[in-house]
Amino acid sequence: MTPADLMRAIVPVFPPSESNRVREGYLRGERPINREIDREEFKKVMALLRSQNRQGAQSRNSWRLGLKVSVENGGLLEYFFGTDGKACLQHGRFVQFLRDLHDEILQLEFCHYDYSSQGTISAKDFALSLVASADINHINKMLDRVDELDNELHLRDIRITFEEFKAFAELRKELQPLSLAIFSYGKVNGSLTKKDFQRAASQVCGISITDNVVDVIFHVFDSNRDGNLSSNEFLRVLQRRETDNPCSGSEGLLSCWMNCTTNCSSTKMLR
């Protein structure tokens, strides 16, 4: 498995708008506890994760397909369990591995969309990354809005830097306080403007979101084009990525692994 394969297995992505690639998939997770796992259990868990991959949401003439990740001898198995395969993988070691992996996954996701290696991604590609986790019942209308970026002169030439991309990824981690802030601002003002959104991110979550990022977010999630964020729609997509969606980050993969080891006895897993 290459680093890009691992990223696509964990992070839901669409093909970069500047390429003709076909999309891959992601994994599903639950809550972590302290445990350890042996080599064969790990292989069984990975098989369970693979079986839970969403197998695709058809959109126009392309598919978001679940990546079939196989766990073979060598690679991570040897790293985690030794050359003889007899070591056990400790929770703490896996946590540290995933923490180290987190920033690399984010960089790989960004590079996935930076198809021409410019160091920035287009507004359209950033918009694709926003909607990649959308429910199948809503994905087509969101992709229509993404396509409309090509007709918006003030948006289509925007380029998003990795720092901007990372800042929004950090904001996604603050989903609960962000949700409360968004609804609070909306309740007080009757609507949520771009400035309201930036103040909510900054004052409540301590994260600065640039005008370019906010402009793209509002283009995709301002459903009636009144200049205000469609909060429910926006937060629903973020929630799918950060919670319901499989393994949008390292914590999801960890929790999925730990949930499997908790709910499935070794006897059941090794049958």
pLDDT digits (tens, 9 = 90+) for 35-54: 677 888 877 777 776 665 44
Q: Residue 68: what residue type?
A: K
Instruction: Report residue 168 CA to chain centroid gap.
Output: 11
φ/ψ (deg, to 5) at 220: -80, -35
Residue 76: pLDDT band (50, 70, 90) is confident
Task: Provide the residue ranges of all domains of the chain, joining segments of one domain with +.
Answer: 3-269
Q: Residue 105: what residue type?
A: I
**pLDDT tens for each residue of 93-149:** 877 877 777 788 889 999 999 999 999 999 999 999 999 888 888 899 999 999 999
**Does position 59 have pLDDT exceeding 60, yes or no?**
no
Bridge partners (DSSP) of residue 160 are 121
